[in-house]
Amino acid sequence: MREFIVEADGGSRGNPGPAGYGSVVIDAATGQTLAEAAEYIGVATNNVAEYRGLVAGLRAAHELDPTATVHVRMDSKLVIEQMSGRWKIKHPDMKPLAFEASKVFPAPQVTYEWIPREQNKHADRLANEAMDAGKRGEQWSASGSTAELDAADARAARAVAEPKPAGPPGDAAAGAARARAALSEGRAAHAAASAGSAAAGSSGRRGAAESSGGGAVRAGAGAEVRAGAEVRAGAEVRAEADVRAASVAAPATGWGPADMGAPATFVLLRHGETPLTPQKRFSGSGGTDPSLSDVGREQAERVGAALARRGTVQAVVASPLTRTRETAGIVAAHLGLDVTVDDGLRETDFGAWEGLTFGEVRERYADDLGAWLADPEARPTGDGESFAATATRIAATRDKLVAAYAGRTVLLVSHVTPIKTFVRLALGAPPESLFRMELSAASLSAVAYYADGNASVRLFNDTSHLRP
């Protein structure tokens, strides 16, 4: 029985806005691209475009072999979880599309897997080509597409890009690269040789594609499907697999000098409760900026007393929001320290969701919430701040504070998203890990940053100091 891989994506420039999808069918045994599909679909949401891409990819696979097994790979967490049956489908625009997708192949023949966006470049490029064509008042044309070649070039570039032993303090990927460099000095030469083979193959494929002029046939609903003829060279496949394996490596220990000196240690304190905390409402940097409740002030007192007994904190830095400055002030009084304010520690701006519960957001902004849960680049409704933007801000703040407090222990009083992001970056964990951490009000976490660039998570969500 043949096995196909279907990679699909969709996008909307406005959400809703001008939208398009792209999908590609790949032979699982050889890596050969068998078919491509793309279409500009007018004004639609991201999620609708993603579902349209899924349906088109499955149909293209079905035309090739209706008896094949199909493994669907998409970077849409929403579509993957819904089609796998783990999440309910409530939005009326997506229900018929999901039903349509489920009927192309018998259910036992199809499996679903979420992949990061960078691993879905081929389908992403096709979707963007379709949207670009729509902007010109045209439909996507297979003969003018460079998506397959661009994706091959990106794969070759990843194969060459063996991680170098450099990076900011606390960057887990850089720490892992240092360990791999210490283990094997011959890897760079191997990667360079693989890159040469990949580049030569890519160049040959590009020339063949340009001379052949493509070979598109119509495939229903305005989409086109094109036969492909790319078989990746063995060296390129091996190098790509090697980079994929290396990308998930955890920071190694024991490879640095015997004595790197005292690390910069961040004790991460989430602020005490506010009136919004027990109601589980979105409370970011763009809302009402609530003060601590009586419970929150008592929690801050307990934190201060516990840290004073330990006697290790040498400085206090707080987010500029009222609840963090109040918490920091109470704790600092116990420690006999002043409070410095750093804007980089502020909470994410949740836009129009500020003050709402998760359920209320789901009722009012279902599509935007779905996109936000699936994509770290997605912003909350009303031009809020994406998790990707928050991570960039926190990484810059981390680097600045590590340099300022080298060898010292500093208390950072911040919020849920920044603290989880400090931990995520230290672990080298993917963005979706933010949804898999529980962080209580007035909890303590700790990360140590060493001179060689490695980081060590030493404590997470400790609330023992709040117990009577």
Write a three-state SS string for the chain: CCEEEEEEEEEECCCCEEEEEEEEEEECCCCCEEEEEEEEEEEECHHHHHHHHHHHHHHHHHHHCCCCEEEEEECCHHHHHHHCCCCCCCCCCCHHHHHHHHCCCCHHHEEEEECCHHHCHHHHHHHHHHHHHHHCCCCCCHHHCCHHHHHHHHHHHHHHCCCCCCCCCCCHHHHHHHHHHHHCCCHHHHHHHHHHHHHHHHHHHHHHHHHHCCCEEECCCCCEEECCCCCCCHHHHHHHHHHHHHHCCCCCCCCCCCCCCCCEEEEEEECCCCCCCCCCECCCCCCCCCCCCHHHHHHHHHHHHHHHHHCCCCEEEECCCHHHHHHHHHHHHHHCCCEEECHHHCCCCCHHHCCCEHHHHHHHCHHHHHHHHHCCCCCCCCCCCCHHHHHHHHHHHHHHHHHHCCCCEEEEEECHHHHHHHHHHHHCCCHHHHHHCCCCCCCEEEEEECCCCCEEEEEEEECHHHCC
pLDDT at 165: 43
pLDDT band at 157 (very low <50, low <70, confident <90, very high): low
Q: Is 5's pLDDT higher than 90?
A: yes
Q: Which residues contact 214 (CB under 8 A, 6 or more apart)?
A: 142, 143, 144, 145, 226
Catalytic choice (129, 326, 347, 354): 347
Give residue 230's pLDDT band: very low, low, confident or very high (50, 70, 90). Answer: very low
How far is Cα 319 from Cα 102, in angstroms, rounded to an integer? 48
Q: 70 has which bridge partners?
A: 4, 110
Q: Would you call 465 a catalytic residue per the annotation?
A: no
Q: How far is CA 323 from the centre of its chain?
A: 28
β-strands 224-226, 33-44 pairing? antiparallel
For residue 170, pLDDT beyond 60: no
Q: What are 307-326's pLDDT values in tens digits?
A: 999 898 999 999 999 999 99
CA distances from 212 to 26, 205, 227, 228 (A): 20, 11, 12, 11
User: Residue 349 has what pLDDT?
Assistant: 95
Could you tell me the sign of the dihedral formed by the alpha carbons of 329, 335, 341, 347, in that order?
A: negative
- Cβ burial of 347 (10 Å; 0-12, 13-18, 19+) is buried
What is the pLDDT at residue 99?
Answer: 94
Structure tokens at 264: 């910069």
Position 79 pLDDT exceeds 80:
yes
Beta pairing partners, 317? 340, 412
Q: pLDDT at position 259, please?
A: 54
Mean pLDDT to the nearest integer, 126-148? 91
Give the tens place of pLDDT for each residue, 282-303.
999 988 899 999 999 999 999 9
- Higher-pLDDT residue of 202 and 303 is 303
Return the pLDDT at 153: 67
d(C-alpha 112, C-alpha 86), whole Å: 11
The whole-model pTM stands at: 0.51
The whole-number pLDDT of residue 154 equals 63
Task: Quote the pLDDT of residue 448.
Answer: 94
What percent of the chain clears pLDDT 90, i.e. is strictly above it?
65
Q: What angle do CA 126, 127, 128 make, to 5 degrees?
A: 90
Token pair listed for 440 = 């209580």
- Is 71 one of the annotated active-site residues of the chain? no
Q: Which of 122, 271, 334, 415 is catalytic?
A: 271
Question: Distance between the two ends of the chain, CA-based, in angstroms?
Answer: 64
Residue 184 has pLDDT above 50, yes or no: no
**Whether the predicted pLDDT of 155 surpasses 50:** yes
Q: Are 142 and 227 in contact (CB under 8 A)?
A: no
According to the model, what pLDDT value does residue 15 have?
82
| pLDDT tens digits, 15-44 | 889 999 999 999 988 888 999 999 999 999
Which of residues 398 and 176 earns the better pLDDT score? 398
Cα distances (angstroms) measured from residue 283 to each of 274, 347, 354, 383, 395? 9, 8, 5, 15, 22
Mean pLDDT of 437-462: 93
Strand order in the sheet with 264-270: 339-341, 315-318, 409-414, 264-270, 444-449, 455-462
* Residue linked to tokens 């790319």: 230
pLDDT digits (tens, 9 = 90+) for 240-290: 433 333 333 334 444 444 456 789 999 999 999 999 999 999 999 988 899
| Average pLDDT taken over every residue of the chain | 81
